[in-house]
A and B are shown apart, each in its own frame.
Chain A
Amino acid sequence: MTEYRVIGTSVPRVDGRDKVTGAMKYTSDMTVPGLLHAKVLRSPHPHARILSIDVALAAQLPGVRAIITGEDAPEEKIGEYIKDRYALARDIVRFIGEPVAAVAADTAEIAAEAIKLIQVDYQPLAAVFDVEEAAAAEPAVVVHPDISSYFILQLPNQTIRLPDNMPNAYVHRPLNCGDVAKGFAEADVVTEHRFTVPRTQFGAMERRTVIAQPESDERMTFWATTSRPISDKDDVARILGLSPAKVTLLAPPLGGHFGANNQSQVHMLIAALLARKAAAPVRLSLTREEDVTDFGTREGTVVYIKQGASKDGTLIAREIKVFVETGAYSSGNLALHCVIMMSQLIGVYRVPNCKIDIYGVATNNPPAGSFLTFGSTQSHWAMEQSMDVLAEQLGLDRREIRRRNILEEGQKNPGGAVAQSVGVGMCLEKASEWIDWAEPAEQLGGPWRTGKGLALGCKHTASDAGPTIVSIKIHSDATIEVRHSAAEQGMGILTTLAQLAAEEFNTTMDKIKLVTVDAQSGGYCLGTMGQKATTNNGNALLLASRDVKRQMFEAAAATLNVQADDLTIEDGLIFSKVNPDASITISGLFNVFGFYGSGELLGRAVYSLAEKHDVKENLALGIANYSSLYGYYAAAAEVAVNVETGEVKILRLGICSDMGTPINPRMIDVHNYRGLFWGVGTAFLEEVRIENGKIVNPDFYRWTMPTAMDMPPNGAVASLIASAPYGDGPLGAKGFAEGTMVPVAPALNNAIAAAVGIRVGDAPVTKDKILAALATMDGSAVAQA
């Protein structure tokens, strides 16, 4: 193991102090002089034709400064891959909550009053809500009849195909390896199941907010809750018909993300159009209900899974069909979701014969967004429970069947890519050891039945999502300034980058300064998503550091009369490893450069994983979506189920994650604990219910995430670390944080199945569902447990 000075130590978060004092400013805390406030009028119909809109009354209300409708919306449409939506509806509304008109006024109260005065006549149209009905060859309703005429972005490795026989499908993503029919014929046992995971809220504590401020010469400045400031800047400029040079976007730290802030363009555009019309800055802060309704939920997902194995538990064939219910618009990254979900379904096992089909399907439900884990939660909910069913049918130990099939370093995954940095086996061993897997679950007596469960998981690290640019600025007092555009969403990327910089310059954390650049200042990254920031921004940071060090060493070598290759830096002092007396401070070096008491040195680098050989190979073969880089996980659970009430108590719950080189162990723990929390929510609590296109539980009373009382005591939870260093990662690290929830819900449900012999396939597993499943059994299985 390499000895590090800062990497691997749990230094305090660099943004922690401002957060505990309340000094940290989020977008929702921002204001500017002369600010107007916006409110949006939204469709009450899931599908309707707009016959007329009359804004005359609203316009007469004192304090109203601008009103916009679909007529004011630009021709250019919004959409990550499939451009399918106007900033405000034109002619047709496709979900309850779609923006139809918006008002900017002196106060939010006046804007809300004005909204009520706008008259809209609708002609309701038939609507479709169920994903499998919508996915029919001849559905009763087609949500986007003109979809074939929409602009679809095609990237070399991410072809978006519209299927012929499914008019509501936006995308069909297939994968085939081997011969599944032959595989199933050879299998000793075949299992088939249907699993579902419903929508839930992102539940980020900060609601999406934007301020748009018009400037002279058509320029526009935004402050916005976004995880992708530069992509949004370019997108918004395109739709507004502006040069990307005319839009500035500042993204303060986010009050939670989880995917929510990958799709802020609709609000940005509404605010921008109002600001332009009113010639004044406009703030649009979504209410909780609006935040949930428009790109505010996970995609509803139905997974059909068929698996075949030989008697010894070797997986022979796997067939998976997925319907992703995304609602009325794809702009929340639906196509990308389906592309990346394939990476998740490739999974953690060797599967010689594999057929996977993912269908992204439109309905008239509110549009879903690109949600935490990009489909991996839904994928592993199905796959890891199916592994337990196979083990049960074959009479095999559930850890053993996983050991037999687990992917190892250098083996080909079902997508055909060579697996690298594979820590999933280590995760399985550590998690199962922690739960004392070989020991039976502790029995509590009475109506309680106990059981243990395991599950594995992976989450693709989207590390080749475009080039990433980072600059390093050296100050004369040896402060190292990192200039980057990663959005701090809470995951600790600022601390991670600071630790990498401190390590690379062999200095202390207090000498590192981080600057999150605005979208005009240079420092591109596509966005902070897909757990790629550590890998991409981290690698770019190291390359930029080496760029500026090279400049410094060359100048120092000339002055000191030594070889540049012999130079090193420690605590701001550059010296020769051969002759440590030959040294120069950074301020001394500034004089060499001719700055004399002022000045700066700059290094800059572009990092792109697409340059790597394995990614090029994978692209050429057309087999993998991106790279084969993953964070890996294993969860272990012990639960007690009350067979009279259906109640579940979590006795123990632990997770082990593989993040390559651990950069900050205690920060990693927090990500692991968050995974447990989200897993508990997924397994038992969280569901956004939609009735006839209307979200009936948008608020935090009717929908809830786990509270401190829903989680087990601290002594009953564990965060474990496994490390399979990633050779192309920054000092061996790789992104992992997004995926920590992936194995948790299936591990919990596997434990319930072990306890009482029933398996509820539809998350969340409520008391009522458990009681209903128990009632259908003859009781013998319960007695056996």
Chain B
Amino acid sequence: MKQALTLTVNGDDREIFVEPTRTLLEVLRYDLHLTGAKGSCEIGACGSCTVMIDGKAAKSCLVLAGQAQDAQIVTIEGLAKHGTLHPLQQSFLDNFAVSCGYCTPGMIMAAKALLDENPDPSETEVREALVGNLCRCTGYVTIVDAVLAASKAMQDSEGELAR
């Protein structure tokens, strides 16, 4: 039975009328037309669909729409502000961490969840945080570089602000 649900996505309340058993990924892509989160393995093994739910990285193909009510959902579309890229997005661009780009939104969201919790991770911590996000193009080298560089840039700018 379809139900009216309200999801908070990138700060906006979005009302939808769907089967509550639809996955969050489907709702984001097909009902809200936010196609940044990608479907790939659809069993939670590849991370292309990663979004943030209440500050944690989550695989949206494993979350039901009904479960996401009352939660704060952030997708890749919510990162850039007024045309300015988030430092992670800029760092992925600067460090050539993007090839085909299909894993990129999920990879950036997983990295954001890491940096929000641990602003200064070691390389091993970055790799552990990204272990559920597969990339067939880069060998992860530039992705790991990009996350570490973003971490440094974000801390530097925090320092600037503090001064």
| CB contact under 8 A between A709 and B127, given known A255-B101, A490-B99, A701-B43 | yes
Kindly state the separation between the CA atoms of A392 and B42 in the bound complex, as whole angstroms.
Answer: 48
| Contact across chains for B40 and A708 when beta carbons are under 8 A apart | no
Encode contact with A along B109-125: 1 for CB under 8 Å, 0 otherwise: 00000000000000110
Within 8 A of B (CB), among A491-525: 491-492
A17-25, A606-614, A642-650 - the one binding chain B: A17-25
Output the least CB separation between B19 and chain A (Å): 9
| Contact across chains for B141 and A717 when beta carbons are under 8 A apart | yes
In the complex, what residues of A have CB within 8 A of residue B41's CB?
A: 288, 699-700
In the complex, what residues of B have CB within 8 A of residue A711's CB?
A: 127, 139-141
Kindly state the separation between the CA atoms of A78 and B103 in the bound complex, as whole angstroms.
Answer: 32
Kindly state the separation between the CA atoms of A708 and B99 in the bound complex, as whole angstroms.
Answer: 16
A164-172, A199-207, A303-311 - the one binding chain B: A199-207
Within 8 A of B (CB), among A70-114: none
Q: Which of A24, A676, A678, A704 has the most CB of B within 10 A?
A: A24
In the complex, what residues of B have CB within 8 A of residue A28's CB?
A: 38-39
Output the least CB separation between A144 and chain B (Å): 33
| Contact across chains for B105 and A22 when beta carbons are under 8 A apart | yes
| Any B CB within 8 A of the CB of A26 | yes
A127-135, A662-670, A745-753 - the one binding chain B: A662-670
| CB contact under 8 A between A709 and B100, given known A20-B93, A22-B76, A674-B138 | no
Cross-interface CB contact of B99 among A203, A207, A670, A675, cutoff 8 Å: A670
Chain A contact patch, size range: 35 or more
Output the least CB separation between A772 and chain B (Å): 29
| Contact across chains for A25 and B131 when beta carbons are under 8 A apart | no
| CB contact under 8 A between A254 and B100, given known A12-B93, A20-B85, A673-B142 | yes
| Any A CB within 8 A of the CB of B58 | no
| Contact across chains for A205 and B77 when beta carbons are under 8 A apart | no
In the complex, what residues of A have CB within 8 A of residue B134's CB?
A: 203, 205, 700, 704-705, 707
| Any B CB within 8 A of the CB of A730 | no
| Contact across chains for A708 and B103 when beta carbons are under 8 A apart | no
Kindly state the separation between the CA atoms of A439 and B111 in the bound complex, as whole angstroms.
Answer: 39
Within 8 A of A (CB), among B36-79: 36-43, 45-46, 48, 75-77, 79
Taking CB as reference atom, which chain A residue is nearest B105?
Answer: A22
Cross-interface CB contact of A700 among B45, B80, B104, cutoff 8 Å: B45
| Contact across chains for A24 and B101 when beta carbons are under 8 A apart | yes
| Contact across chains for A21 and B36 when beta carbons are under 8 A apart | yes
Q: Which of B46, B127, B128, B137 has the most CB of A within 10 A?
A: B137
| Any A CB within 8 A of the CB of B13 | no
Kindly state the separation between the CA atoms of A25 and B38 in the bound complex, as whole angstroms.
Answer: 10
| Contact across chains for B46 and A205 when beta carbons are under 8 A apart | yes
Per DSSP, are chain B's interface residues mostly helix, strand or loop, or mixed? loop
| CB contact under 8 A between A288 and B100, given known A705-B134, A708-B144 | no
| Any B CB within 8 A of the CB of A553 | no
| Contact across chains for B101 and A15 when beta carbons are under 8 A apart | yes
In the complex, what residues of B have CB within 8 A of residue A21's CB?
A: 36, 76-77, 79-80, 85, 89
| Contact across chains for A13 and B93 when beta carbons are under 8 A apart | yes
| Contact across chains for A492 and B131 when beta carbons are under 8 A apart | no
| Any B CB within 8 A of the CB of A16 | yes
| Any A CB within 8 A of the CB of B15 | no
Kindly state the separation between the CA atoms of A256 and B35 in the bound complex, as whole angstroms.
Answer: 17
Encode contact with B along A180-205: 1 for CB under 8 Å, 0 otherwise: 00000000000000000000000111
In the complex, what residues of A have CB within 8 A of residue B98's CB?
A: 13, 15-16, 19-20
| Contact across chains for B128 and A709 when beta carbons are under 8 A apart | yes
Cross-interface CB contact of B102 among A31, A256, A491, A719, cutoff 8 Å: A256
Kindly state the separation between the CA atoms of A31 and B35 in the bound complex, as whole angstroms.
Answer: 11
In the complex, what residues of A have CB within 8 A of residue B43's CB?
A: 288, 699-701
| Contact across chains for B140 and A700 when beta carbons are under 8 A apart | no
| Any B CB within 8 A of the CB of A489 | yes
| Any A CB within 8 A of the CB of B94 | yes
In the complex, what residues of A have CB within 8 A of residue B135's CB?
A: 205
In the complex, what residues of A have CB within 8 A of residue B145's CB?
A: 714
Output the least CB separation between B60 and chain A (Å): 13
| Contact across chains for A701 and B45 when beta carbons are under 8 A apart | yes
Within 8 A of B (CB), among A8-61: 10, 12-13, 15-26, 28-29, 31
| Any A CB within 8 A of the CB of B9 | no
Cross-interface CB contact of B100 among A489, A669, A705, A717, cutoff 8 Å: A489
| Any A CB within 8 A of the CB of B108 | yes
Output the least CB separation between A488 and chain B (Å): 8
Output the least CB separation between A255 and chain B (Å): 3
Q: Which of B76, B133, B145 has the most CB of A within 10 A?
A: B76
In the complex, what residues of B have CB within 8 A of residue A13's CB?
A: 93, 96, 98
| Contact across chains for A666 and B96 when beta carbons are under 8 A apart | yes
| Contact across chains for A669 and B142 when beta carbons are under 8 A apart | yes
| Contact across chains for A253 and B93 when beta carbons are under 8 A apart | no
In the complex, what residues of B have CB within 8 A of residue A374's CB?
A: none
Kindly state the separation between the CA atoms of A667 and B142 in the bound complex, as whole angstroms.
Answer: 10
Taking CB as reference atom, which chain A residue is nearest B40?
Answer: A205
Kindly state the separation between the CA atoms of A711 and B101 in the bound complex, as whole angstroms.
Answer: 20
| Any B CB within 8 A of the CB of A677 | yes
Q: Which of B34, B41, B92, B100 has the most CB of A within 10 A?
A: B100
Kindly state the separation between the CA atoms of A490 and B97 in the bound complex, as whole angstroms.
Answer: 11
| CB contact under 8 A between A206 and B40, given known A673-B141, A701-B45, A711-B139 | yes
Beyond the given pairs A674-B139, A677-B140, A701-B45, 12 more chain A to chain B contacts, judged by CB atoms under 8 angstroms and listed by A's residue number, are A20-B89, A20-B92, A22-B75, A22-B76, A23-B36, A25-B35, A28-B39, A205-B38, A673-B140, A700-B46, A711-B139, A717-B141
List, sorted by A's number, 12 A–B pairs whose CB atoms are closer than 8 Å: A12-B94, A13-B96, A16-B98, A21-B80, A255-B38, A490-B99, A491-B99, A670-B137, A673-B139, A699-B45, A701-B43, A709-B128
